[in-house]
Structure 1
């Protein structure tokens, strides 16, 4: 289970929490008034290029040059 820590408690013991994350590899969630705002987690270097990470993410590509009508905008519905 991910540990949750308030901002004020984190501020007082930040280095201690950094060392804990480094040692355990488990993330810590920083909260403000009980709501999650930040996550401290170990850095994980990716060996994939940005293009490789995006590959396969386009689900549908019909006609990119077709004009978009007002009825196609979900925000206006």
Structure 2
């Protein structure tokens, strides 16, 4: 079941106990007046994700990255003075 420790001792030595749980991987049961009130377990290890390939299968497609992003006739679409000239 692992190690059992009283709440007062846990409070006094919290950082040391956290380091020990991380190092050993063994859970610690915290008790209050002899009754278990919580279990401290190590956090699951996170897998390292590489930056390269992080957008793979994300739904973005770049068929022609050198083509204009918008149609050249829409360049002045945000200019109210040119709204009458739009097709």
Query: Would you say same fold, with TM above 0.5?
Result: yes
Bigger-Rg structure (1/2): 2
Q: What is the CA–CA distance in structure 1 between the aligned matches of 2:45 and 2:4, rounded to whole Å?
A: 24
Measure, in 2, the Cα distance between the counterparts of 1:42 and 1:10: 15
| Residue in structure 2 matched with residue 35 of structure 1 by the alignment | 35
Written as runs of structure 1 = structure 2, the 5 A alignment for 1:1-77 is 1-44=1-44
The runs of 4+ residues in structure 1 deviating greater than 4 Å are none
| C-alpha distance in structure 1 between counterparts of 2:45 and 2:36, whole Å | 24
- Structure 1 unmatched runs, 5+: 47-77
SS at match of 2:42: coil
Which structure would you say has the larger RCO, counting Cα contacts within 8 Å and 6 or more residues apart? 1
Secondary structure of the equivalent of 2:18? helix
What residue ranges of structure 2 are gaps of 5+ in the alignment? 47-87
Tell me the TM-score normalized by structure 2: 0.49
CA separation in 2, counterparts of 1:26 and 1:37?
17
Shift of 1:45: 5.8
RMSD: 1.6
